[in-house]
Amino acid sequence: MYFVAGVNKNSSRCFGYFKKLEDAIKSVKCNNTDINEMGYYPLAVIEYKEEGFYPIGATYSDKDGYITLFERLWFKYNDVSGEYEPIEEPEEFKIWGNLTL
């Protein structure tokens, strides 16, 4: 499943989940259900998770940096268009795991 969360520098909130990545991306891009919450969540993330307890979503450090063990797509809200736009993963979140649960 693809889980969608709004994210700020202090917290995240899961807004929904989808079987198809395309549906998750479409919902995030158009700010479905006001993920942005009037500026509270300037970022959104889609994470892929398998079913089960404690789904793999942690990051592990190695000598060259961090290895992320799950698929994750990032978006930033555009105040002019009122939509989320794809971005590279922000550096400060590379060590965070399970943002959507």
> The whole model's pTM is what?
0.83
| Predicted confidence pLDDT, tens digits, the chain (101 residues) | 899 999 999 999 999 999 999 999 999 999 999 999 999 999 999 998 877 776 655 455 555 555 455 678 999 999 999 999 999 999 988 877 778 87
Tokens encoding 39: 């500026």
* 99 occurs within a structural domain: no
Give the domain range for residue 32: 2-93
* 60 occurs within a structural domain: yes
* 35 occurs within a structural domain: yes
* 98 occurs within a structural domain: no
Closest CA to 46 of 67, 69, 15: 15
Q: Rounded to an integer, what distance in angstroms lies between the CA atom of residue 84 and that of residue 62?
A: 32
* 100 occurs within a structural domain: no
Q: Rounded to an integer, what distance in angstroms lies between the CA atom of residue 77 and that of residue 96?
A: 20
Rounded to 5°, the CA angle 22-26-32 comes to 140
Tally the domains of the chain: 1
